[in-house]
Amino acid sequence: MPNVGRVDSNEDVDLTEDVDLTDLDRFTSGFPFEVFDVLRRDAPLWWHPPTEHTPGGEGFWVLSRHADIVAAAADSETFSSESGGDREGGGTTLEDMPTGFAVGALLNMMDDPRHAQFRRLLTPSTTPRALQAIEADLRRRAIDIVDAAVAKGQCDFLIDVAAELPLQAVAELAGVPQEDRHELMNWANVTLDYEEREIGEISDRVAQAQAQMFTYGTALLERKRREPPTDELLSIVTHALIDGEPLSENEQRMFLSLIIAAGSETTRNSIAIGMSALSQKPQVWEQIRQDRTLLPTAVEEILRWASSTPYNRRTATRDVEMHGRRIRAGDKVSLWWASANRDETVFADPYSFDVSRNPNPHLAFGRGTHFCLGASLARMEMRVIFDVLLDRVRRVTVTGPIEYVRSNKHSGVRHMPVSIEGR
């Protein structure tokens, strides 16, 4: 469970022996912030040597400081989301993804100008003004979700509360039938979790989930192409033209996978981890309940605290100097957002959960051209669900260990057992 109080985490860590950021077992109790405290202090640009767990037996650079990560994320010409040098694959994960299948086809593994053209298609549907139209519906859904959890008394907060509103919202926004949402979420969960495999490996269970998602997505997108265009995101991508040509079927399928995973997974984890922090501070819970003007800053602090996407990878397109060291064209460079969100040079008392923290320049949504397209939706979902919880719940108590997914790419929660006392 994340520590809510102030902690002293500058433990002695041997960077040559103790640090393996590709050992997924290191992440099964949450993000290893203590490792990155040392990296920021002693090795802000660190070459991670290959280990038995590292995909392809290939090392990579680790950026851990807020300023360096912001600079790299803003320089997409030097740090590509696709590839660089003479590398054949690339993408935003430590393992190389194949060019043409994911790289260059998946929105978050796409560089400009294609990325900007694709993104412009979706922006009008994801602005705060556009999303105002669904806020009342989200609130009705949130009330039903919270009331059902209160009626149970004992529940899995991740499954019964945190996952439900983002999943229902993204299904509505994308144009996925609500009755299919849980099956899609289950397929996405299997592909994002490394419970039975290592980085770069595909288990039978993952292959089956990918095949089922492919079959379902092919049929759903074909139906969207036949139907008249609407403002649903899947309708937009199936009818849109870029430079006079429709998006490829692969781009459309990749977008469906992305919107289901990214549109629900990160937000539910922020809600769950945020609730676990607030459950340890009942006085803060009551303070927000009585003064709802604190809710927006509380949401921002939850986003910083949870850091649901620990890192994204980029690939250097040219040689570049940083901290007296040379990153060469084709090198993998990992940007650790979660570390930046605990940078003591940016956040006063970074290990204190402070719902009044302002300013709060966290990087939970990334930075630069790939700033999260769903940021406004995520903020709205979090504000709405916590507003309803504050209205209808006196106390949430975590009754057992929080079970995290086995992944260094997603600070995911599998289960969070709680008792809920209604007002």
**CA 6 – CA 24 distance, rounded (Å):** 26
Q: Taking residues 65-91, what's their average pLDDT?
A: 97
User: At 235, which helix (H) or strand (E)?
Assistant: helix 233-239
Chain-centroid distance, C-alpha 158: 15
Model pTM score: 0.92
315: left (phi over 0), alpha (psi -120 to 50) or beta: beta
User: At 122, which helix (H) or strand (E)?
Assistant: helix 114-126
* Number of Cβ atoms within 10 Å of the Cβ of 192: 17
Say yes or no to pLDDT of 330 above 90: yes
Question: Topology of 24-179+266-422 in CATH?
Answer: Cytochrome p450 (1.10.630)
Say yes or no to pLDDT of 210 above 80: yes
Q: Looking at this protein, which amino acid is placed at residue 389?
A: L
* Number of Cβ atoms within 10 Å of the Cβ of 25: 10
Say yes or no to pLDDT of 219 above 50: yes
Say yes or no to pLDDT of 6 above 50: no
Domain chopping of the chain, boundaries: 24-179+266-422
Q: Assess contact for 33 and 307: CB atoms under 8 A.
A: no
Tell me the CB-side half-sphere exposure of residue 138, using CA atoms within 13 A: 24
**CA 78 – CA 101 distance, rounded (Å):** 23
Q: Kind of pairing, strands 60-63 and 332-335?
A: parallel
Q: Which of 346, 339, 340, 337 is nearest to 313 (CA)?
A: 337
The per-residue pLDDT for range 359-399, each reduced to its tens digit, is 999 999 999 999 999 999 999 999 999 999 999 999 999 99
The per-residue pLDDT for range 126-169, each reduced to its tens digit, is 998 889 989 999 999 999 999 999 999 999 999 999 999 999 99
Strand partners for 154:
419
